[in-house]
C-alpha cells in the first residue's frame, strides 16, 4: 500500500501535473498488471507503458511522486515497481555512505 501520510495537502497546484500526463488518455490497465500476469506478457505490457511514459511531459514529476509515496504497483514515471524499488535501495545505500 502506498504511504500517503507525508504527501502535501491536496491543493490543486500540488497535483496539477497529473492533468498533463499521457496516461490520462490510456486505459489504466496498460500501466497495472493483473495478479496473474507474468513473464513475457508482463514484460510486453510494461514496455508499452514505458514507451508512453517516454513521450510524457510530466514523467519526472510522476516518478518523483511514485518514489515519494513508495507506490508498490504499476509503471510510474517510466519505471516498473521492481525498478523503483531497486532505485530506492540504491538511493538509500548512497545516502547511508
Interatomic CA distance for residues 27 and 48, integer angstroms: 12
Looking at per-residue pLDDT, the higher value among 36 and 4 belongs to 36
Is the pLDDT at 11 greater than 70? The verdict is no
Half-sphere exposure of 66 (CA within 13 A, CB side): 25
Is the pLDDT at 12 greater than 90? The verdict is no
Cβ proximity of 30 and 52 under 8 Å: yes
Domain boundaries, the chain: 12-96
For residue 58, what pLDDT band results from cuts at 50, 70 and 90? Answer: very high
Looking at per-residue pLDDT, the higher value among 63 and 14 belongs to 63
User: Which pLDDT score is estimated for 96?
Assistant: 86
| Triad 15, 45, 41: Cα angle to 5° | 150
Q: Per the confidence metrics, is the pTM higher than 0.85?
A: no
Interatomic CA distance for residues 32 and 40, integer angstroms: 15
Amino acid at each position: 500500500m502506498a504511504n500517503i501520510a507525508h504527501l502535501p495537502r491536496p491543493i490543486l497546484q500540488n497535483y496539477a501535473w497529473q492533468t498533463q500526463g499521457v496516461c490520462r488518455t490510456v486505459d489504466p490497465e496498460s500501466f497495472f498488471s493483473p495478479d496473474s500476469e507474468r513473464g513475457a506478457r508482463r514484460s510486453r505490457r510494461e514496455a508499452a507503458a514505458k514507451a508512453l511514459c517516454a513521450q510524457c511531459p510530466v514523467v519526472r514529476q510522476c516518478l518523483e511522486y511514485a518514489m515519494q509515496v513508495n507506490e508498490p504497483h504499476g509503471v510510474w514515471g517510466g519505471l516498473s515497481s521492481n525498478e523503483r524499488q531497486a532505485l530506492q535501495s540504491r538511493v538509500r545505500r548512497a545516502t547511508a555512505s
